[in-house]
Amino acid sequence: KVQQQQIHAVDDCLAVEEPLEIKIEWGEVIQRQQKSISITMRTPGHDFELAIGFLFTEGIIRSLDEVTDVAYCPTACKKTNNQNVVLVCLAPTTKVDLNRLERHFYTSSSCGVCGKASIEALQMNNLPPLPNTQPIFSSSIVHQLPNFLEQTQQVFSHTGGLHAAALFAPSGKLHLVREDVGRHNAVDKLIGAAFQAQLLPLHDYAILVSGRASFELIQKSLMAGIPILAAVGAPSSLAVQLAEAHNMTVLGFVRQQRFNIYTGAWRIEVGD
């Protein structure tokens, strides 16, 4: 005898997803210009870090001295929530590459971007080299990183719908964590926070991402000088190629007391 199924109406918590437009203002005092350079779907919160992190990882800004102000755009359309438009004001002396602004920003997929166009665009960014020394992470610390991250994901624990990026020292100490509906946004927020705190380059840390390791996550981490990227999921083939070409360590499937090493195995100290 088959029991009749019942449907119950209950409230549920959902992760918020809203568009964020990133605009820049630049030029001499008497010849200021504004331009919208990106619209991304994100979880509201740490929006200024997201904007700054995006501009840095795209190679548009290099130092904190180039930024004079970050604010929600006061001239946003009345039909648009002005907290969905961020304006980053650059110093009059900051040189802006209009060709870079005009180029087609990466079209993201679930495994990142790929192909000749992405490699050519990446070469424009002049990725900084990574050091051939520290850090060295023990395998026992790597095994603990997902647990450390889970304990800090406040929104994820309520919704189950957010990605996270976290910055760890070799001791396992958590320094920064950011969440967002987009993997790339979480990383940009994290790097933006480190940029504003003048912590870059992040040569002494590893970054842990809650999803897969895509090409763009490797690129963003390299721009910030992060030598180790660990992912709960798998890396893409182009992500591994990029990491290997730049002396970066990539770990995948970091969960359930195991992980794979795809590049840079010398930075991982395997215990007994």
Catalytic residues: 111
Q: What is the DSSP letter of 211?
A: S
Residue 191: count of CB within 10 angstroms of its CB: 31
Say whether 213 sits in a helix, a strand or coil.
Answer: strand
- Residue partners of 176: CB distance under 8 A and separation at least 6: 166, 167, 190, 193, 194
What's the CA dihedral at 59, 61, 62, 65 to 10 degrees? 180
Read off the DSSP letter of residue 110: T
How far apart, in whole angstroms, are the C-alpha atoms of residue 27 and residue 267?
Answer: 43
Cα–chain-centroid distance for residue 199? 15
- The 10 Å Cβ neighbour count of residue 257 is 11
Per-residue tokens: 128: 């900084």
Give residues with Cβ within 8 angstroms of 20, minimum separation 6. Answer: 39, 40, 41, 42, 44, 47, 50, 51, 84, 85, 86
Q: Where are the beta strands (DSSP E) in the chain?
A: 18-26, 33-42, 67-72, 85-90, 137-138, 163-168, 174-180, 206-209, 228-231, 249-255, 258-263, 268-269
Question: What span, in angstroms and rounded, lies between the C-alpha atoms of 261 and 249?
Answer: 8
